[in-house]
């Protein structure tokens, strides 16, 4: 379409306005015009244009003036680039005919550049999650934004766990362009499991097959953060703000996301996008479930308690290194909007070699001290571990802005495996504290990190399912456990001995300790664009990837 140009007034001052193929610009008509006086709005970030003087807060109000029109658009907050706010500008044309031309031109351009914008959404509200504010957040802050953007919504308030998942699995979703959760990571997990499960059922793919290549989901997921934990939202948008998330949904952003499928033998257990953690994080979650009455503070309480226990667990870790030469877990890059590493992953998805899921081969094992590592082959590590964590994303959160693995990517088909070996409380505290500052949490002698495609973990003693663990303990492990308890006052104070931890899978305790985990590249899509900002971040100290 040809550029459209005329003079418009803003607060009785004359401006030269031009609408081209990508943006809407206006410049103060002054002899001493300066470049910084030019205001530009990308067309993809214009939310709506309406005739007259329009207000939407605290309630929608329209004053029908003949020559005015109001443009609503996205604006970045001054002190936080990731936080979006809804801004507006009122323009006054010379006459009503010119006003109508501007409204028509802007509407056509918005439609042309907004083909990915949703027209109808299925919204799930969890009224019980977090501090019970999800319903208020949606109806007081989000509903009017969707109405302004012309989005039709069907709202369901959940009354039980997994109701949203079951609805997605059973109901006809053909009329919807996306699903939205107003809640935390738990509600998001329900939507994700429902969509992935539905896609596999329609494609006749068994979720119980750990070697199956899963079918991607067509519907996007939107997250309005309103839960106790909102890790997925923070790691994909950069801020936990309901308005920001709603605006990303309205403009139709799309961010693919890798998903880990977790199996026990030939049985599917769960999907994960943020973290699968054994040891410290598993113990924290398991203990916090006993104190749900405390609310979100239960995580801090259980974290302190588990830290004092200072437990470590024996096991065998087998992992398949990722064959990506573009990045590694300690290259100081950050996955940001337009990430090239994630963009190139789509090409790798078409390669049969990349999709192959090899069986564990003991002959492929090479020690960490080897000069060369064989890409795509299996390696193993046996020992006593304080924590074993696998994450498909940085897992950033307000308390840890860089996250569990700062250089992890959202959609490159890999996950970062972080192994923390047995260490003292002081050493482990150093590792934990580095998650909150600019120091490298992997630059410690008892911490290893690898970029992987798959993981197998076998606890020692092995997982016997329904059999009593104590009845099958080897004699030397029983003796070691008792001696450790006798020698530690804090262990007696905080809890008895335990030879096996539990896996924390995106905030839920898994029933088995022996698991297989495989990364599925870009299995789902979110209404997001990744965190906006620079792709490189310097640290005070950095060592080459080992």
Residue 349 has pLDDT above 70, yes or no: no
Determine if residue 192 is left, alpha or beta; phi over 0 gives left, psi from -120 to 50 gives alpha, anything else beta. alpha
Kindly list the distances between the CA atom of residue 431 and the CA atoms of 139, 252, 311, 312, 504, in Å, as whole numbers in the listed order. Answer: 42, 39, 15, 15, 19
Task: Judge whether residue 466 has pLDDT over 50.
Answer: no
What pLDDT, on a 0 to 100 scale, did the predictor assign at position 236? 96
Residue 413 has pLDDT above 90, yes or no: yes
Does 185 participate in catalysis according to the annotation? yes
- In angstroms, the CA 158 to CA 178 distance is 18
Percent of the chain clearing pLDDT 90 (strictly above):
71
d(CA 367, CA 448): 13
Using 50, 70 and 90 to split pLDDT, how confident is the model at 401? confident
Residues 314-330 have a mean pLDDT of: 87
Burial grade of 71 (CB within 10 A; 0-12, 13-18, 19 or more): buried
Residues 186-206 have a mean pLDDT of 98
pLDDT value at residue 32: 61
> 159 and 172 in contact (C-beta within 8 Å)?
no
Angle at 122 between CA 150 and CA 81, to 5 degrees: 65
The whole model's pTM is what?
0.87
Instruction: Look at 71-75, 164-168, 328-332 and tell me which has the smallest mean pLDDT.
Output: 328-332
- Among the residue ranges 154-163, 271-280, 336-345, 478-487, the one predicted with the least confidence is 478-487
DSSP 354-396: HH--PPP-GGG---TT-SS--TTSEEEEEEEEEEEEEESS---
| Residue 39: predicted pLDDT | 92
Instruction: Work out the burial of residue 284: count CB atoms within 10 Å of its CB; fewer than 13 is exposed, 13-18 middle, 19 or more buried.
Output: buried
The full DSSP string for 214-266 is PPPPSSEEEEEE-SS--HHHHHHHSS--HHHHHHHHHTT--EEEEEEEEEETT
Question: Please, what is the Cα angle at 236 between 505 and 188, to 5 degrees?
Answer: 45
Q: Residue 326: what pLDDT?
A: 62
Separation of alpha carbons 357 and 517, rounded Å: 11
Q: State the pLDDT at residue 347.
A: 57
495-510 per-position pLDDT tens digit: 555 689 999 999 999 9
Of 276, 271, 251, 273, the closest CA to residue 261 belongs to: 271
Q: Quick one: DSSP state of residue 337? A: T
Residue 34: CB atoms within 10 A of its CB come to 9
Compute the CA torsion angle 245, 246, 249, 250 (nearest 10 deg).
-140
Q: Catalytic: which of 185, 241, 258, 440?
A: 185
* Diameter of the chain measured on Cα atoms: 92
Q: Delineate the domains of the chain, giving CATH numbers in brackets.
A: 4-113 (2.30.29.30), 116-253 (3.40.50.10330), 259-343+375-464+472-521 (2.60.200.40)
d(Cα 212, Cα 514) in Å, to the nearest integer?
A: 19
Q: Does the structure show a pLDDT above 60 at 483?
A: no
Give the span between the Cα atoms of 389 and 442, in whole angstroms. Answer: 13
Beta bridge partners of 440: none
pLDDT of 484 higher than 70:
no
Task: Give the model's pLDDT for residue 350.
Answer: 54
Out of 196-210, 320-334, 433-447, least confident range: 320-334
């Amino acid at each position: 379409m040809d550029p459209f140009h005329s003079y418009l007034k803003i607060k009785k001052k004359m401006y030269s306005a031009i609408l081209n193929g990508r943006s809407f610009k206006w410049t103060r008509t002054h002899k001493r015009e300066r470049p910084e006086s030019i205001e530009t709005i990308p067309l993809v970030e214009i939310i709506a244009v309406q005739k007259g003087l329009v207000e939407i807060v605290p309630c929608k109000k329209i004053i029908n003036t003949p020559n005015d029109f109001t443009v609503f658009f996205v604006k970045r907050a001054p002190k936080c680039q990731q936080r979006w706010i809804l801004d507006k500008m009122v323009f006054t044309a010379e006459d009503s005919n010119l006003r109508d031309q501007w409204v028509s031109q802007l509407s056509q351009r918005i439609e042309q550049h907004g083909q990915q914008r949703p027209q109808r959404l299925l919204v799930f509200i969890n009224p019980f999650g977090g501090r019970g504010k999800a319903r208020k957040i949606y109806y007081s802050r989000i509903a009017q934004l969707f109405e302004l953007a012309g989005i039709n919504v069907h709202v369901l308030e959940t009354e039980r766990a997994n109701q949203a998942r079951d609805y997605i699995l059973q109901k006809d979703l053909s009329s919807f362009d996306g699903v939205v959760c107003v809640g935390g990571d738990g509600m998001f997990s329900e939507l994700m499991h429902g969509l992935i499960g539905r896609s596999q059922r329609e494609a006749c793919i068994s979720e119980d097959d750990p070697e199956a290549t899963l079918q991607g989901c067509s519907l996007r997921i939107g997250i309005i953060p309103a839960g106790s934990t909102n890790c997925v939202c923070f790691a994909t948008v950069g801020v936990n703000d309901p308005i920001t998330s709603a605006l990303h949904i309205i403009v139709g952003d799309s961010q693919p996301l890798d998903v880990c499928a977790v199996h026990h033998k030939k049985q599917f257990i769960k999907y994960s996008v943020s973290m699968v953690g054994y040891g410290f994080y598993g113990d924290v979650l398991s203990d916090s479930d006993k104190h749900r009455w405390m609310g979100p503070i239960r995580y801090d309480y259980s974290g302190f308690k588990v830290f004092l226990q200072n437990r470590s667990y024996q096991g065998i870790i087998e992992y398949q290194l990722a064959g990506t030469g573009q990045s590694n877990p300690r290259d100081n890059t950050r996955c940001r909007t337009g990430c090239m590493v994630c963009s190139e992953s789509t090409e790798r998805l078409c390669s049969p070699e990349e999709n192959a899921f090899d069986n564990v081969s003991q002959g492929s094992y090479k020690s960490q001290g080897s000069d060369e590592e064989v890409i795509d082959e299996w390696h193993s590590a046996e020992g006593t571990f304080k924590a074993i964590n696998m994450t498909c994303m940085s897992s950033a959160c307000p308390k840890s802005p860089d996250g569990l693995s700062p250089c992890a990517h959202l959609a490159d088909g890999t996950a970062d495996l972080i192994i923390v070996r047995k260490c003292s409380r002081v050493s482990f505290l150093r590792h934990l504290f580095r998650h909150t500052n600019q120091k490298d949490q992997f630059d410690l002698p008892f911490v290893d990190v690898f970029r992987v495609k798959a993981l197998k973990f076998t606890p020692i003693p092995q997982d016997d399912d329904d059999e009593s663990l104590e009845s099958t303990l080897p004699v030397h492990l029983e003796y070691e456990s008792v001696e450790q308890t006798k020698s530690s006052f804090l262990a007696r104070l905080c809890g008895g001995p335990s030879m096996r931890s539990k896996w924390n899978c995106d905030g839920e305790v898994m029933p088995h300790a022996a698991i297989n985990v495989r990364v599925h590249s870009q299995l789902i899509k979110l209404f997001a664009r990744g965190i906006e900002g620079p792709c490189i971040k310097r640290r005070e100290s950095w060592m080459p990837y080992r």
